[in-house]
A and B are shown apart, each in its own frame.
Chain A
Amino acid sequence: MSRRTRKVIVKDSTGRRIIEQSRVRLLFVGLFFILCFTSIAVRMVDVAVINNTAAITILVSDLDGSKADEKVEIKDRTPTANHRGDIVDRNGVLIATSLTTSSIFVNPNEVQNKSEAAKKLAATLRLDEDYLLKRFKSKKSFVWVKRNLTPTQEQSVNALGIPGLYFLPEEKRVYPHGNLLSHVIGYVGVDDKGLAGIEKQYNQRLRDSSVNHNPLRLSLDTRLQAILHEEMQSAIEQFSALGGAGVIMDVRNGEIISIVSMPDFDPHHPAKGSKESRFNRAALGNYEMGSTFKTFTMAAALEHGIADMRKKFDAINPVKIARYTIRDSHPEKRWLTVPEIYAYSSNIGTARMIMEVGKARQRGFMDKLGMTRPVDIDFPEKGTPLVPDPWREINMVTISYGHGISVTPLHLVRGISAMVNGGILPELTLQAGMRKELDERRRVISEKTSKNVRRLMRLVVQHGTGSKADVEGYRVAGKTGTAEKVSGKKYDGKAKLASFVATFPMDDPKYVVLVMIDEPQGDKTTHFFATGGWIAAPVVNKVIARMGPLLNIRPVYHAQGDDAEKYWVEHEPKKKKQPKLAPSLAQRYLHAVSF
C-alpha cells in the first residue's frame, strides 16, 4: 500500500511538485506569522516590562519607599483658550488684555413663563423688562440677552433658575489705563475684532494663536504718555481750549514714545464717546501748522545756499503778492538776520527767503519731507495732507510760514526730526524692537544744515518767542507756531492753533516733543495772548523737565555744542530794551495773515 502510494507520488511528478510547493508556501506563511507575532510580543514586553518606568517605579517605590520618576515627562498640552493677545508698552506694562467673562443667551422655545422670566431677569440684571420680553418672544432658538457679565451677575442669574437661559464663556477686552491711550490703542468690537488704532492694525497678529502668547510690544512709554496727557489736560482746562494733540518721538529711530489726542474717550465704551472725542487729532487731523513750518523754509534756504546764518533779509515793508499782502503783526521794520527772522517769526523775512528759493525747489523739498502724502506708519488712521494744486506763487509764500498746506501732527514731528537728527527722515513706528537705523537714502538736508537749523531753533528759545520752553541743562531748541484757523472761507483771527515743537538736547538731539492746543483762550497769566509761545511752550517745558530725569538724561550746563549764541547779533534798540518775557515780544510774534 505504502509502496503503491509512493509509486504514485513518484510516478505522478506533477502532483508531487504541487504538494512540495504548497509545503514551502505554508512554511513561508507560517514563518511570516511567527515573525509578526514575535515582533508584537517583543514590542509588548518592551512596552509593558522594559520601558514601563511607571510600573517599575511603583515596584521600586514599593520596595524602597522612594517615589517620583524624572523620566516620565508629561508635555503641557493644555488646550488654552485662544485669547486675543496682550499689548504691552516698551517697558512691558500691560496696556490691553483679554479676560474671560460669561455671556448669557436664551432659547425662547424653552422658556415657559416668559413674562415672569423677563420680570425676574430684568430686576437682576437691571435691564428693561419690555426689551427682554421682546427677546423672549423671538422665534429664533438663539438670542443674546446680555454679554460679558460679572461673576456676581452670573451667580445671581444662575440662582433664578430660569430654564432656557444659557451661559457662554466669552472674551472681554480690558484696558487697564482707561482713557490714557484710547486713540493709539483703539478698541475692539463686541466680537473681539479690532476696529481702530493698534487693535485694528495688528488684528491678525493679536488673533493668531501661534504668536499671540507673546504680547505685542509697542514703542510707547506709559509714563511719558501720562506726563504728556496730564500737562496737556491742565493746559486745555486752564485756557478752555477745544482739545489738543501731543507727540513725543525718538529722532534716532522714528519710534513714537507717546501720542496724545484730546479730548479722548473710554476704549471700553467707544460708542458712548462723542464723534469729536473719538477723532484722532494727532494722526488723522489735518492742520495748517503755522510758523513751525518756517523751520522747513529756513532749512531749504540754508541747504540751497540762499541764506547763511549771518545773511540779512529785508523785513521793512509788507510783501505784496498778487492781491495779497504779507505782514508781520508787530513788525521790526528793519533788515533782519536769518536767526532773527526765525526767532521773531517774521512772515515778511520768511516770504523773502522762499521767493529766492523758488516754487519748484520748495515743492521738491516738501515732497522729500513727505508733506504731500500720508505718513508711512503702522497705524490705520492716517490723515492725507491737503496740498494746494496748482502750487501757485501765493501758495509758495503762505506755505513758507505754514498756511495753505494742512498736514497731521505726525507729519510735522517727523519733518522736524529730519531737520534736527542730522538730516534724515526717519520711518515712524509704534512697535518696539523694530529699531530701524536712519537710512541714508532718506536724507533730506546735509549734516551742516541740520546743525544750523538746531542753532536757529535754540535761538528761538534763548532770544525769541519760545523762551518759556527752556529747561536749564537740557539745551531745549524749538519753534513756536500760532496758526489761524479757517472758519468758513476766511481765516478767523480769534480761533488759533497754538503749538510748540521742541527738540533736546540741541547739540545731540534725542527726542522731539510737539504740543498743539486747539483754540485756547488766553488768560491773565498769558496777558491774554493765545500764542504758541505763551500757551504751548510752557507745556513743553513741563513735559521735558519731567521726562528728562525719568529717562536718565543728564543735564549739561555749559555744553560745547550749545554754540547758537555766537550767531545772535544783538540789535541796538531804538527805545529802552524790554525785559525778556514782556508782552511786546509776544505781541511781535502775533501772527497776522491778511487775505
Chain B
Amino acid sequence: MTRFSFVAWMLMAVVGVFMLYKVKYQVQAIKYEIAAASKELKSHREALRVISAEWAYLNRPARLQNLAQKYLASTDVTVSQIAEIQEIPFPEYRMARAKDIANPIKRASMLTAGIAGEGR
C-alpha cells in the first residue's frame, strides 16, 4: 500500500513537472510571438500614420480644386442649384400636390405619365 502510494505520488510529480516545463516553454514561445506581433503592429501603425498624413496632403482642398478644374467638367455648386424636391417642376406639377411629389413612387408614376403624355 505504502509502496503503491509512493509510486503514484512519484508518477504524479513527474507528470506535474513535465507539464510545468511544457507550459513554461509555451509561455516563452507566446511571448516571442507577442513581441514579434507588436513589432509588426508598431511598424504597421507607423506606416498608417505616414499614409494618413499623405492622404491628407493629397486631399488638400486647393489641390483637389485644381485637379477638378483640370480633369472634370464639373464646377462649384452654385446657390441656384440647391432646391427642395417640391421646387423642381416635374410634369403635371401643377396638378400634383406637394405631398405626392415627395413620395417617390407617385413621383415616378407622374413622370411616366408625363412621358407617355408627350408621346400622344
Interface membership of chain A positions 47-60, coded 1 if the CB is closer than 8 angstroms to chain B and 0 otherwise: 11100101100000
Given A74-B30, A94-B56, A174-B53, A47-B78 contact (CB < 8 Å):
no
The reply on B61 being an interface residue by CB < 8 A is: yes
Residues of B within 8 A of A230 (CB): 62
Interface membership of chain B positions 77-97, coded 1 if the CB is closer than 8 angstroms to chain A and 0 otherwise: 111111110000000000000
Interface membership of chain B positions 17-53, coded 1 if the CB is closer than 8 angstroms to chain A and 0 otherwise: 0011011001000100010011001100110011011
Q: Which of B20, B34, B45, B50 contacts A74 (CB 8 A)?
A: B34
The reply on A177 being an interface residue by CB < 8 A is: yes
Task: Kindly provide the distance from the CB of A173 to the nearest chain B CB, expressed in whole angstroms.
Answer: 10
In the bound assembly, the distance between CA atoms of A160 and B55 in angstroms comes to 34
Once the chains bind, are B55 and A55 in contact (CB under 8 Å)?
Answer: no
Once the chains bind, are B46 and A100 in contact (CB under 8 Å)?
Answer: yes
Once the chains bind, are B19 and A549 in contact (CB under 8 Å)?
Answer: no
The reply on A474 being an interface residue by CB < 8 A is: yes
Residues of B within 8 A of A487 (CB): none
Closest to B18 in A: A48
Tally A residues with Cβ within 8 Å of B. Answer: 48
The reply on A44 being an interface residue by CB < 8 A is: yes
Given A41-B16, A81-B42, A223-B61, A94-B55 contact (CB < 8 Å):
yes
In the bound assembly, the distance between CA atoms of A99 and B78 in angstroms comes to 39
Once the chains bind, are A48 and B20 in contact (CB under 8 Å)?
Answer: yes
The reply on A472 being an interface residue by CB < 8 A is: yes
In the bound assembly, the distance between CA atoms of A203 and B19 in angstroms comes to 52
Once the chains bind, are A177 and B56 in contact (CB under 8 Å)?
Answer: yes
Given A47-B23, A472-B79, A550-B77, A226-B62 contact (CB < 8 Å):
yes
Residues of B within 8 A of A100 (CB): 46, 49
Given A48-B22, A97-B49, A473-B79 contact (CB < 8 Å):
yes
Residues of B within 8 A of A81 (CB): 42
6 contacts between A and B (CB under 8 A): A45-B16, A47-B20, A48-B16, A78-B41, A226-B65, A549-B76
Q: Which of A45, A54, A554 contacts B82 (CB 8 A)?
A: A554
Q: How large is the interface on B (under 10, 10 to 19, 20 to 34, 35 or more residues)?
A: 35 or more
Q: Which of B19, B42, B59, B65 contacts A78 (CB 8 A)?
A: B42
Task: Kindly provide the distance from the CB of A68 to the nearest chain B CB, expressed in whole angstroms.
Answer: 14
Residues of A within 8 A of B12 (CB): 41
Q: Which of B20, B26, B46 contacts A54 (CB 8 A)?
A: B26
Once the chains bind, are A94 and B38 in contact (CB under 8 Å)?
Answer: no
If over half of A's interface residues share one DSSP class (helix, strand or loop), that class is named, otherwise mixed; here it is mixed
Once the chains bind, are A176 and B53 in contact (CB under 8 Å)?
Answer: yes
Which residues in chain A, 458-489, are within 8 Å of chain B measured between CB atoms?
471-474
Once the chains bind, are A471 and B53 in contact (CB under 8 Å)?
Answer: no
The reply on B60 being an interface residue by CB < 8 A is: yes
Task: Kindly provide the distance from the CB of A431 to the nearest chain B CB, expressed in whole angstroms.
Answer: 19
Task: Kindly provide the distance from the CB of B48 to the nearest chain A CB, expressed in whole angstroms.
Answer: 10
Q: Which of A45, A176, A552 contacts B56 (CB 8 A)?
A: A176
The reply on A548 being an interface residue by CB < 8 A is: yes
The reply on A555 being an interface residue by CB < 8 A is: yes
Task: Kindly provide the distance from the CB of B24 to the nearest chain A CB, expressed in whole angstroms.
Answer: 10
Interface membership of chain A positions 209-242, coded 1 if the CB is closer than 8 angstroms to chain B and 0 otherwise: 0000000000000110111001000000000000
Given A545-B78, A549-B78, A549-B81, A78-B22 contact (CB < 8 Å):
no
Residues of A within 8 A of B82 (CB): 548-549, 552-555
Task: Kindly provide the distance from the CB of A558 to the nearest chain B CB, expressed in whole angstroms.
Answer: 12
The reply on A77 being an interface residue by CB < 8 A is: yes
Task: Kindly provide the distance from the CB of B82 to the nearest chain A CB, expressed in whole angstroms.
Answer: 5
Task: Kindly provide the distance from the CB of A89 to the nearest chain B CB, expressed in whole angstroms.
Answer: 10
The reply on A155 being an interface residue by CB < 8 A is: no
In the bound assembly, the distance between CA atoms of A223 and B60 in angstroms comes to 9
In the bound assembly, the distance between CA atoms of A553 and B82 in angstroms comes to 8
The reply on B57 being an interface residue by CB < 8 A is: yes
In the bound assembly, the distance between CA atoms of A488 and B66 in angstroms comes to 44
The reply on A93 being an interface residue by CB < 8 A is: yes
Task: Kindly provide the distance from the CB of A473 to the nearest chain B CB, expressed in whole angstroms.
Answer: 5
Residues of A within 8 A of B76 (CB): 546, 549
Task: Kindly provide the distance from the CB of B46 to the nearest chain A CB, expressed in whole angstroms.
Answer: 6
Which residues in chain A, 502-552, are within 8 Å of chain B measured between CB atoms?
545-546, 548-550, 552
Residues of A within 8 A of B65 (CB): 226
Residues of A within 8 A of B52 (CB): 94, 97
Closest to B57 in A: A176
In the bound assembly, the distance between CA atoms of A83 and B50 in angstroms comes to 13
In the bound assembly, the distance between CA atoms of A78 and B40 in angstroms comes to 10
Once the chains bind, are A94 and B53 in contact (CB under 8 Å)?
Answer: yes
In the bound assembly, the distance between CA atoms of A74 and B22 in angstroms comes to 19
Which residues in chain A, 16-55, are within 8 Å of chain B measured between CB atoms?
41, 44-45, 47-49, 52, 54-55
Residues of B within 8 A of A553 (CB): 82
Once the chains bind, are A44 and B26 in contact (CB under 8 Å)?
Answer: no
Task: Kindly provide the distance from the CB of B96 to the nearest chain A CB, expressed in whole angstroms.
Answer: 21
Please give me the 7 A-B residue pairs with the lowest Cβ-Cβ distance, nearest first: A48-B19, A226-B61, A176-B56, A94-B56, A176-B57, A549-B77, A78-B38
Closest to B40 in A: A78
The reply on A2 being an interface residue by CB < 8 A is: no
Once the chains bind, are B38 and A548 in contact (CB under 8 Å)?
Answer: no
Once the chains bind, are B23 and A99 in contact (CB under 8 Å)?
Answer: no
Residues of B within 8 A of A390 (CB): none
Task: Kindly provide the distance from the CB of B35 to the nearest chain A CB, expressed in whole angstroms.
Answer: 10
Residues of A within 8 A of B20 (CB): 44, 47-48
Closest to A94 in B: B56
Residues of A within 8 A of B42 (CB): 78-81
Task: Kindly provide the distance from the CB of A93 to the nearest chain B CB, expressed in whole angstroms.
Answer: 6
Closest to A74 in B: B34
In the bound assembly, the distance between CA atoms of A178 and B20 in angstroms comes to 59
Task: Kindly provide the distance from the CB of A103 to the nearest chain B CB, expressed in whole angstroms.
Answer: 16
The reply on A329 being an interface residue by CB < 8 A is: no
Residues of B within 8 A of A157 (CB): none
The reply on A132 being an interface residue by CB < 8 A is: no
In the bound assembly, the distance between CA atoms of A74 and B33 in angstroms comes to 10
